[in-house]
Amino acid sequence: MGFIRPFALLGTLAGLALGQDCPILGPTYPEVLNPSSSTVFAAAKASFDDEITKALASGQLDNGTAFSIQVFSRNSDKLLFERHHGSSVGPDTLYRIGSISKVMTVYTTLAELGDKYWTEPVTKYVPELARLKVRDPVYDTDWSEVTLGALASYLSGIARDYALGDIAPYLPPGIPGIPALNATEQIQCGTSGLRACTRAESLTKIAHTYPISPTHHTPAYSNMAFQLLAYAVEQITHKKFPTLVNTRLLTPLNLTHTFLTKPSNPSNALVLDGWDLDFGEESPAGGYYSTPADLTVLARSILRSTLLPPALTRSWLQPLSHTANMALSLGRPWEIPRLTLTPGAAPVDVYTKQGAVGAYLALLALSPAQGVGYTMLTAGGKSPATYAWLQEKVDAIFLGAAEAAAREEAGRRFAGNYTVEAGAEGTAAAVEVPILRKTFMRSDGKGKCKL
């Protein structure tokens, strides 16, 4: 029998005022501390494994597209689930991770500098931008308004790319309505099939990009933002950015299979379209290579605050803007789907970053409120379909299981008969929402009131 003080009424006033339940955003239940012994997770694992096997057999999942998926908990070194598909694909297979590199860039920055530079303008640290004049705000970015924090969070208003994805090198000449470009107008570097741009070339091109919107007006994706962020960090620290990634992330986490540039002749590589694309100076936006095992260690270290103080992790795992999709917010550089796992409960916000390059499509996902996450790497002709299928299932099955397992554990720990000091007594049972509900109350041992 436990004891509670009769203060619960205060907590319901906000809900009454709004005429609706208003659960607190965040964990609905305390986290599952020993996931390996949970029967709910064991059932989820068996069911997901079975669904994958069936989908591969039926052709719903393309047999020719390789994938790796690992599901983990903050509270265990043992994976909750893993599955690999493809010839000799396993936890140490090397994939391209594309824009998940952006998470590594921000993580490195936070580990080296903390978050105290986020409000500083980029012009303070990238002199080439400080020299640019704003003649017309429609055509010229006001770089003095672009902060390092805005660069990291899609809120800078700057263009997406200065060369990456430029189709001019591939356009056949003579397309009606499209004037031919002369030699000086053609880009020479910075996209697929061309060499990487130097810093000087990049900044000359960046100076010629147009703003997408004013700063902090609306989120818009930008790759070049992360190249500029890395330049600023180099100027602040007087260290090369790849050196910082090594000393701040790769060495302390022992990520021996993660590479910032294309590794030479790795035996474990899954080499497909996009493998060779050299991001050069733009690597902090999308150039890195990693394995399922390394990516899981990196992701779990975020949930565990291994490299950052817990307060910094908490402020990092927060949204900074909404999008026009009610169920998607954004952070640095998080893409945050908001999932409804339990009707009536607060949404579960999943801090994710997607990465796409060539035939590779990857995802890193953290559910801080549940203490679980997953990493997913796909490669092959049908990677978008494989990725979409796996993501939908893993969210429904494993994040759903995390919720169910936590509810079950909370029931075991907290449901029971409680007596308040005034002498009233009551019973609490674990139900879906909120975590505990009083099922009856009795005052001074007299008169039982069923609730």
Ligand X SMILES: *[C@@H]1O[C@H](CO)[C@@H](O)[C@H](O)[C@H]1NC(C)=O
Q: Which stretches of the chain bind ligand X, using CB under 6 A?
A: 63, 86-87, 182, 184-185, 254, 256, 416-417, 427
Distance, in Å, from the CA atom of 156 to the CA atom of 111, rounded to the nearest integer, reads 22
- For residue 301, the minimal CB distance to ligand X (Å) is 13
- Closest to ligand X by CB, 144 vs 427, is 427
- Closest to ligand X by CB, 326 vs 444, is 444
Which of 350, 307, 347 shows the shortest CA–CA distance to 331?
Answer: 350
- For residue 256, the minimal CB distance to ligand X (Å) is 4
- Closest to ligand X by CB, 63 vs 243, is 63
CB atoms within 10 A of CB 304: 14
- Closest to ligand X by CB, 119 vs 417, is 417
Main-chain dihedrals φ then ψ at residue 430, nearest 5 degrees = -80, 120
Render 63-114 in DSSP notation, one character per residue: TTSEEEEEEEETT-SS-SEEEEESTT--TT-BEE-GGGHHHHHHHHHHHHHT
Main-chain dihedrals φ then ψ at residue 209, nearest 5 degrees = -80, 160
Cis peptide before 310 (omega within 30 of 0): no
- Closest to ligand X by CB, 21 vs 50, is 50
Distance, in Å, from the CA atom of 407 to the CA atom of 377, rounded to the nearest integer, reads 30
- Closest to ligand X by CB, 19 vs 59, is 59
- For residue 32, the minimal CB distance to ligand X (Å) is 21
User: Is-catalytic flag, 99?
Assistant: yes
- For residue 331, the minimal CB distance to ligand X (Å) is 30
Query: How many CA within 13 A on the CB side of residue 27?
Result: 14
> CA-CA distances (angstroms) from residue 444 to 187, 220, 425, 426?
83, 61, 8, 11
Distance, in Å, from the CA atom of 436 to the CA atom of 407, rounded to the nearest integer, reads 10
Catalytic residue among 47, 192, 221, 321: 221
Main-chain dihedrals φ then ψ at residue 364, nearest 5 degrees = -115, 130
Distance, in Å, from the CA atom of 403 to the CA atom of 339, rounded to the nearest integer, reads 12
Main-chain dihedrals φ then ψ at residue 141, nearest 5 degrees = -70, 135
Catalytic residue among 68, 99, 101, 156: 99
- For residue 334, the minimal CB distance to ligand X (Å) is 28
- Closest to ligand X by CB, 2 vs 19, is 2
Main-chain dihedrals φ then ψ at residue 98, nearest 5 degrees = 55, -130
* Pairing mode, strands 348-349 and 328-330: unpaired
- For residue 56, the minimal CB distance to ligand X (Å) is 7
Main-chain dihedrals φ then ψ at residue 119, nearest 5 degrees = -90, 5
The 3 state secondary structure assigned to 327-387 is: CEEECCCCEEEEECCCCCCCCEECEEEEEEECCEEEEEEEECCCCEEEEEEEECCCHHHHH
- Closest to ligand X by CB, 184 vs 325, is 184
- For residue 414, the minimal CB distance to ligand X (Å) is 10
User: Is-catalytic flag, 221?
Assistant: yes
- For residue 417, the minimal CB distance to ligand X (Å) is 4
- For residue 373, the minimal CB distance to ligand X (Å) is 21
Contact yes or no for 70/375 (Cβ under 8 A): yes
- Closest to ligand X by CB, 167 vs 324, is 167
> CA-CA distances (angstroms) from residue 135 to 132, 141, 203, 209?
9, 9, 19, 14
List the catalytic residues.
Answer: 99, 221
